Amino acid sequence: MDSTLHRPDDEAERAATQPDPSEEDTGEDSEPTPEELEQIHRHNALVRALDAAYTDIRQRSYEGKLTTSSRWKKRSFAPEGMDAKAFEEQALLYIQEHDHAEATEVRGKLSAPKPLDVQLEGREVNPDEPLPEPDVCDLALIMGKKAIYLYSAALMSHSFAHALYLTAEDDEVATFVDVVRTESRVYPRPVAQDSFMNPPYLWSPARTKQVYEKVAANEAFKDIHVTHTSKGEAYYYSDWYLSDAQGKALAQWYGVEKGMNP
C-alpha cells in the first residue's frame, strides 16, 4: 500500500498546471480582421505606386535623364485615396529613411533592383498578403534650388548626373567652373571649348566663350584659364591642378598631336 499522503489541494494544483485541450494551438493562423485587411490593401497600393515611381527614375536614368520629384504629380503615380503632394512627400521620405545611394561616385558594382512585377513574375499573388517593400539601394537625391533631382547610381554616373543637375539649375557659370576643375583634377586634362557642344550642355562656341568671360571677371574663379593650340582651338584648365605649362602642353596633345598619332 502506498504510504504517501496526498492533500486535496495537491490534486487541484496538478490539474491547474495541465493544458486545456480546448486551448491548445491548432497550428492554424487566425484570419485577419477587416481592419487588418484594409491596412494590407492600402500598403499594397502604396508599394505598387512607389514601385512605379522608382522604376520611372531608373528608366529615365538609363535614357540619360534626371527625374524631379514634381514629375510624380504630373504622371499621377499616387494610389487611390492619396493626393499627389502627399505621395511626393511619402516617396521622398521613403528613400531618405531606407538604405539608398549617395550622390557621389559609386565604388564597386551596384545593380538596379528589378520592377515589382518582374520580381513577382510566375508567382500567384494573394491580394490579402502584404507585398515586399521597395528596394531603393541605387537611388540618389540631389537637393537643388529649383527642385529635388533623383537618379539611379547603377544606371547613371555621378559626374553625368551632376552635370545634368547644374544644367537644370540653369547656372552656366557654376557648370563651366565645375567641369573645368573636375577635368583638371581627375584626369588631369584641359577641356576643349567644343566639348560644351555635347550633351548635356549643348552650348555653341560663342556661348561657351561668353561664359568664360564671366568666369574670368569673377575673383572667385582666378584659377580658371584659357590656352590655345597651334590650330587656334581654345582649351580651359584650372591652375589648382595643372600648371600653365601642363595646360598648354596637354591642350596641344589632345587638340593636335593625338590625332596625328593614332
What is the rounded CA–CA span in Å between residue 31 and residue 40? 13
Residue 196 has a pLDDT of 94
What is the rounded CA–CA span in Å between residue 167 and residue 179? 11
Quickly name the fold that domain 171-260 has: Arc Repressor Mutant, subunit A (1.10.10)
What is the rounded CA–CA span in Å between residue 87 and residue 90? 5
Q: Give φ, ψ of 247 to 5 degrees.
A: -60, -45
Residue 2 has a pLDDT of 44
Are residues 56 and 68 in contact, defined by beta-carbon separation less than 8 angstroms? no
What is the rounded CA–CA span in Å between residue 6 and residue 21? 26
Residue 82 has a pLDDT of 94
Residue recorded with cell 583638371:
184
Residue 4 has a pLDDT of 42
Residue 130 has a pLDDT of 94
What is the rounded CA–CA span in Å between residue 57 and residue 49? 13
In the three-class reduction of DSSP (H, G, I as helix; E, B as strand; rest coil), residue 26 is classed as coil
What is the rounded CA–CA span in Å between residue 215 and residue 203? 16
How many C-beta atoms surround the C-beta of residue 33 within 10 A? 9
Task: Return all residues near 23 (Cβ < 8 A) that are at least 6 apart.
Answer: none
Are residues 234 and 191 in contact, defined by beta-carbon separation less than 8 angstroms? no
- Sequence ranges of the domains in the chain: 35-109+134-156, 171-260
How many C-beta atoms surround the C-beta of residue 192 within 10 A? 19
All residue ranges of the chain with pLDDT < 50 are 1-8, 12-13, 15-17, 21-23, 26-27
In the three-class reduction of DSSP (H, G, I as helix; E, B as strand; rest coil), residue 185 is classed as helix
